[in-house]
Amino acid sequence: MKHTTNMLFLLITSFILASCSSNNKQDKTQPNILFIMTDDHALQAISSYGHPISKLAPTPNIDRLAKEGFLFTENYCANSICGPSRASVLTGKHSHANGFMKNDGTKFNGEQATISNILQENGFETAVIGKWHLNSLPVGFDYYRILNDQGEYNNPDFITKEGTTQETGYVTELITEFTQDWLSNRNSDKPFFLMMQHKAPHRNWVPAEKYYRLFENTEFPIPDNYFDNYQGRQAAGGQEMNIYVDAYEGHDLKMVTGLDSDTLLYDRWPDVFFGRMTDEERKTFLEAYRERNNDYYLTERTEKEKAEWKLQRYLQDYLACVKSVDESIGEMYQYLEENDLLENTIVVYTSDQGFFLGEHGWFDKRWMYEESFRMPLIIRNPFIDKKGVSINQFTQNIDFAPTFLDMLGVDSPTDMQGESILPLMESNSEDVPWRESLYYHYYEYPGFHSVKAHNGVKKGHFKLIHFYKDKVWEMYDLDKDPDEMHNIYGQAEYKTKQEELHNELDSLILKYQVPDKYLH
Ligand code: SGN
Ligand code: CA
């Protein structure tokens, strides 16, 4: 009897001690997820992926997540554009199956089975902070503080359940601050699922004031295919996303009307850029860019040199935006550490799709070509005792929801089309039976940047793309042609491979039940 009383006393004391050791009352064996998604963050701009651009603009804080976790080297999106990618992340489904196929004003149906609805029903505290861009308000979230539509870099509006408020400051820093505020004030009896969604580095690439001049003396490498002539690739010839043709000189490239001018050249959307700054902020901005803008007019340049100048301006601003994102990741890491959350919070880093950093002459995304099809994915999972592991299997954003549910111990609905990638992390990934091909489908045409609708399959190092409205096919051998410059479709030597890819595409269309009306 005495023994039992002692045991009971011990148990109660250790329980009290455990719950007093931090202000975080939740059971430590129950994981939380911090899901961080940036907007348009190219793999080429994350040092862990090893691209030469990122050597000049390193991302040490994002890299630390990879060093302490898993780097997915072959992760892809299902439809390389904002709203559709976000809808796939939330639902675990391809665009046709979740109903959000284009960024054309479609309203996301938040009542369907989403990761937030499911986790909320299963006792998780759910929140989304930052970019949302699904045209309907978040459903299944206990808390939201989201940007309006694309959001603004300077002094942006945020929407909460209480209404819209204009905040003072730089968007990346505000999102970090609001995320930490939520964590500090959350119901800490429950585990959380928190989506922190940065606007940066989305167009028009406005850096934080302290970083306006960060890369002003950095010459980034010019891609070999910057002056692509799109030979053999009909659809690529018709796009409107060329840095030296289509980028707005004032809005995107921050160019002014002449020597010492304070007026931007064609400021396409003053409301979201200069219109958001105070007079003082505009002045500081113009001063920071003055020397470089004057140099544009003081130095004679050929058309080719002007195009190269524009690439440098684009990359300097884009990477300066990334610098703030990386800093934000460092601040979140520190917050988790200081608040005793690092060892029971799974941190996921990704972007809504890939992005072109001058390859083919382009900015933007949308294509099934590698730069925009690929998505960064890094997961730091303290519940698995492995560090610095690369996973090279084909994963996709439709896998995110089933993976998160699996990691949190919640069943996935059977109609989710993605697969949990947790087994790839737990076992030796090479030994796990896994998919050998990926399905892709982009719908938004006509639309911004004039990229024709297409679908396709990637299998091994081969890719088949169908621009189905024009009945045009493309095929690439990525081992021989990683930049996708040589369309080998119809070439005799690839006949067998081509047939194999056609069959694979047909079987994926069946597997994912893509309605016939979307294939013509
Ligand atoms: C805006 C951009 C486009 C971009 C789309 C979609 N123009 O329309 O360049 O492709 O958003 O971006 S802008 O001048 O208004 O920035 S997405 O991230 O929402 O998919
Ligand atoms: Ca995007």
Q: Which domains does the chain have, with CATH numbers?
A: 28-205+323-432 (3.40.720.10), 234-314 (no CATH), 453-518 (3.30.1120.10)
Q: Do the Cβ atoms of 420 and 403 come closer than 8 Å?
A: yes
SS3 465: strand
Alpha-carbon distances of 275 from 6, 152, 202, 271, rounded to whole Å = 70, 10, 18, 5
Tell me, rounded to whole angstroms, the distance of Cα 466 from its chain centroid.
25
203 lines ligand 1 (CB under 6 A): yes
Does residue 113 register a pLDDT over 80?
yes
Out of 41, 103, 273, 362, mutate this one to test ligand 1's pocket (max ligand atoms within 8 Å of CB): namely 103
Q: Among the atoms of ligand 1, which is closest to the Cα of residue 241?
A: 9
Q: Do the Cβ atoms of 354 and 371 come closer than 8 Å?
A: yes
Q: Do the Cβ atoms of 317 and 285 come closer than 8 Å?
A: no
Q: Among the atoms of ligand 1, which is closest to the Cα of residue 39?
A: 18
**Polymer length of the chain:** 520
Contacts of 251 (CB under 8 A, 6+ apart): 204, 264, 266, 267, 268, 269, 273
Which ligand is nearest to the Cα of residue 366, counting in written order?
Answer: 1
pLDDT of residue 20: 39
Q: Is the Cα dihedral 485, 319, 67, 406 positive or negative?
A: negative
pLDDT grade for 352, boundaries at 50, 70 and 90: very high
Does residue 26 register a pLDDT over 80?
no
444 lines ligand 1 (CB under 6 A): no
> What average pLDDT does this structure show over 326-344?
98
> What average pLDDT does this structure show over 268-283?
92
Structure-block tokens of residue 98: 């979740």
380 lines ligand 1 (CB under 6 A): no
The closest of 402, 314, 307, 345 to 114, measured between CA atoms, is 402
Does residue 481 register a pLDDT over 60?
yes
pLDDT grade for 25, boundaries at 50, 70 and 90: low
Task: Specify the residue for token string 């990704």.
Answer: 350
pLDDT of residue 7: 42
310 lines ligand 1 (CB under 6 A): no
Diameter of the chain by CA atoms?
95
Q: What is the pLDDT of residues 431-442, one digit of tens each?
A: 999 999 999 999
Which ligand is nearest to the Cα of residue 84, counting in written order?
Answer: 1
- Buried b or exposed e, range 413-441, using 16+ CB within 10 angstroms: eeebbbbbbbebbeeebeeeeeeebbbbb
Does residue 1 register a pLDDT over 80?
no
pLDDT of residue 269: 80
> What average pLDDT does this structure show over 243-267?
95
The closest of 69, 75, 30 to 380, measured between CA atoms, is 69
Does residue 101 register a pLDDT over 60?
yes
Judging by DSSP bridges, how do beta strands 454-459 and 125-130 pair with one another? unpaired
The structure's pTM equals 0.94
Which ligand is nearest to the Cα of residue 103, counting in written order?
Answer: 1
Q: What is the pLDDT of residues 394-408, one digit of tens each?
A: 999 999 999 999 999
Q: What is the pLDDT of residues 300-311, one digit of tens each?
A: 999 999 999 999
Contacts of 330 (CB under 8 A, 6+ apart): 60, 61, 64
pLDDT of residue 491: 98
Calpha distance 205→213 (Å, rounded): 13
pLDDT grade for 30, boundaries at 50, 70 and 90: very high
Does residue 240 register a pLDDT over 60?
yes
Does residue 15 register a pLDDT over 50?
no
Does residue 9 register a pLDDT over 60?
no
pLDDT of residue 268: 80
